[in-house]
Chains A and B, each alone.
Chain A
Amino acid sequence: MTTDCLTVEQLKKGLEPLNGHGDSKLLTHLNSCVHCGLCADSCLFYLATCDPRLTPARKVDLISSVYKRYHTFTGKYLPVLSHARKLDKATADEMVDLFYGSCSICGRCTMHCSIGVDISYLVSVGRKMLANMDMVPATLQSTVNAAIETGNNMAIPTADYLDTLKWMEEEMADEVGDPEACIPVDQPGKRILYTLNPREPKFYPLSIAAMAKIFYVAGESWTLSTRMYDVTNYAFFSGNLDEATLIADRLWKEMEHLDAESLVLGECGHGTRAFRWESPNYMERGFPFPVMSSVECIANYIREGRIRLDPEKITVKVTMHDPCNLVRSGGIIREQRFILKQFVKNFVEMSPGGTDNHCCGGGGGLLSMSEYNDRRIKAGGIKAEQIRQTGAEIVVTPCHNCVDQLIQINAYYKLGVKIMTMAEIVAEAIVVK
């Protein structure tokens, strides 16, 4: 039996996230929007396309109109009053396009909303509804599947991964002038288990060598894992929290297996958010070990005097792109500035920056959804213009997902800048004793 092409089972599962489980947050935000429409100017998808369909208010309206149809008096008995909508195939298709294809869950609209509606949270709930209905875009789902089936979202075979680490170990040993310098793998009882974005071993191995160099100079006791090194968790973006739990649980188990003291999450905004902030909630348990981002880790090394940075190494103008998941949704705002100001003489902020930054356009899983490539690159035009206005030659960002998007918009908009991760620029300036 179907309801406008959605099966009854799909409809039931799709509506389940709106049933009001948990706290008052969902109920609050579903009932708060007043349709002032003033959020439009805070959304890069609207700014880049001028398409009124893509405004944050329309996204809120889409999910709240479905909520009202099934959960409010007027929505049930006088749906025309608030345009309350049944959840049918057309509505679900529109949700796919708006929630997956035109929102990076960057949260900028939330901060600027005249009321305070957590719009990115509602989009996440919308994605959860779609995931329950098996309507996650195939491209995003294939990334999740790769992580579940192979242990990393790029399906890198372990032998290739180990080859890359060996190669980077040689690079790093050459750089520090110590043939004994190594990249430890699967070593139990270390102080830190470090994780990577699979883009590193796949496309940007030098960033692994960069972080290894920092660990080496800091005299850190650390290790990588072969069983579970992937910091990303695209299931958090697909909305399937069962799969997100499965992925996060592997990292917890690897911490236990290797008996590491602390977990340091590699440079990945969404990976940091998905694990540090979200996984304790969808796994319903608190961390038994300290968790921190690599940015915080590097900042601590500087404060403790474990590494020193040469202010003569980077002389060109440098700017920084703040990853939304790290900054607006993760509270890491000052550490990256603290690090750069130690050695970058000519640092310039983007405008707007910090918690008010514009998303690069590649967040929310958009980089993995090729069907939205044109829209994503167009949305990235806002960031491209920001970069251009700084006049910087180097753009630093502590997120490999952002690095990918920035590299693409760098080429598309002919910015002519160099994109670097935080570890890469720090490793360039680090003083090796």
Chain B
Amino acid sequence: MDVFDSAMLLTWYEWIAPCALGVSLGALLFHITRLIRLGKPDDTAPPLGNVGPAVFYSMTGAMSPAKKESAYLHLPTYLAGIIYHLGTFLSFLLFFFLLIRLPFPSLLTLLLSAFLLVSAVCGFGILVKRVVNLELRSLSNPDDYLSNILATLFQAATILTLYLPEWRASYFILASILFLYIPLGKLKHVIYFFAARYHLGFFYGWRGVWPPGKKERKTNC
């Protein structure tokens, strides 16, 4: 059976999901292109440090939970967030395998499902926190809830589809909605997160704040 024959075997919902993914990637590419076209800051102040190592630090050391109050003061939320994001990326990966109906060994299916279950519970926990916590609720908008619900349901649907093929239609329809929503709502932080870390690294690197070090320097006077 060649590729054409395989494609002919796909049902309508198995067709729309990759199409939605294509649209999503195209829209995200638009965001990326726009950022690249606008370019990096053109700072005319003489630098006090190096941007390269600072950007690297911004993406690595500065992300360490020991360095950020948003992490070390909120460890349960931080941990739930990390697991939730890993689960989301794993679900995206499994989407391709489910699309081509790649069979998994039962043990692997069990392990993947177990992780996704934990991840989906984390996502649901974050959602509950947003609803219950008065301060967080007052900050939230429908996009915050919708983004969370879509990503969490996507993970839950992935688990179900791994075991129950009759869920495939719902799974691919849900995946299509999620893909189409990513570039429109806050889920586009999948792009902007890296851009933000870059700019932060650039700013602190140019001004000699990052990466932190012990070396003394002498300024010309």
Contact = CB atoms under 8 A, between A and B. Distances in A.
B140 A35 contact: yes
A31 B31 CA distance: 10
Interface stretch (A75-83, A226-234, A343-351): A75-83
A88 interface: no
Interface in A8-62: 20, 22-25, 27-29, 31-42, 52, 55, 57-58, 61
B221 A297 contact: yes
Interface stretch (A150-158, A177-185, A276-284, A363-371): A276-284
Interface residues of B, number: 63
B8 to A, nearest CB: 35
Contacts of B42: 22-23
Contacts of B220: 262, 290, 292
Contacts of A81: 141-143, 146, 185
Interface string B135-167: 110111111101000000000000000000000
A278 B45 contact: yes
B103 interface: no
Contacts of B49: 331
B69 A116 contact: no
Interface in B180-206: 184-186, 188-189, 192-193, 195-200, 203
Contacts of B143: 74, 81-82
Contacts of B135: 37, 40, 52, 55
B207 A285 contact: no
Contact of B39 (A23, A29, A115): A23
B93 interface: no
A112 interface: yes
A33 B70 CA distance: 13
Interface residues of A, number: 71
Given A32-B192, A42-B70, A55-B135, A116 B216 contact: no
A52 to B, nearest CB: 4
Nearest to B40: A23
Contacts of B26: none
A203 interface: no
Contacts of B141: 35, 81-83
Interface in A274-320: 276-281, 284-287, 290-292, 296-297, 300, 303
Given A38-B74, A73-B184, A290 B200 contact: no
Contact of B41 (A25, A192, A355): A25
A116 B219 contact: no
A117 interface: yes
B101 interface: no
A91 interface: no
B34 A116 contact: no
B212 interface: yes
Interface string A259-281: 00010100000000000111111
B199 A118 contact: yes
A296 to B, nearest CB: 4
A290 B221 contact: yes
Contacts of B38: 20, 22-24, 27
A374 to B, nearest CB: 22
A42 B69 contact: yes
B48 A331 contact: yes
A207 interface: no
Given A25-B199, A32-B192, A277-B207, A74 B221 contact: no
Contact of B134 (A34, A52, A338): A52
Contacts of A115: 189, 192-193, 196-197
A116 B60 CA distance: 12
28 contacts: A22-B42, A23-B40, A23-B41, A24-B38, A24-B40, A28-B196, A29-B199, A32-B196, A35-B136, A55-B139, A74-B143, A74-B185, A81-B141, A81-B146, A83-B141, A112-B68, A114-B71, A116-B58, A116-B62, A118-B200, A262-B220, A264-B221, A286-B44, A287-B46, A292-B219, A300-B219, A329-B207, A330-B207
Those 10 A-B pairs whose CB atoms lie nearest each other, nearest first: A331-B208, A38-B70, A24-B38, A280-B44, A116-B196, A52-B135, A83-B141, A28-B195, A114-B70, A112-B69
Given A25-B41, A280-B46, 16 more contacts: A23-B41, A24-B34, A28-B195, A28-B198, A38-B77, A39-B70, A41-B70, A81-B142, A110-B200, A114-B78, A116-B196, A116-B197, A262-B221, A287-B45, A290-B220, A290-B221
Interface of A: 20, 22-25, 27-29, 31-42, 52, 55, 57-58, 61, 73-74, 80-83, 110-118, 121, 192, 262, 264, 276-281, 284-287, 290-292, 296-297, 300, 303, 327-331, 333-335, 338, 355
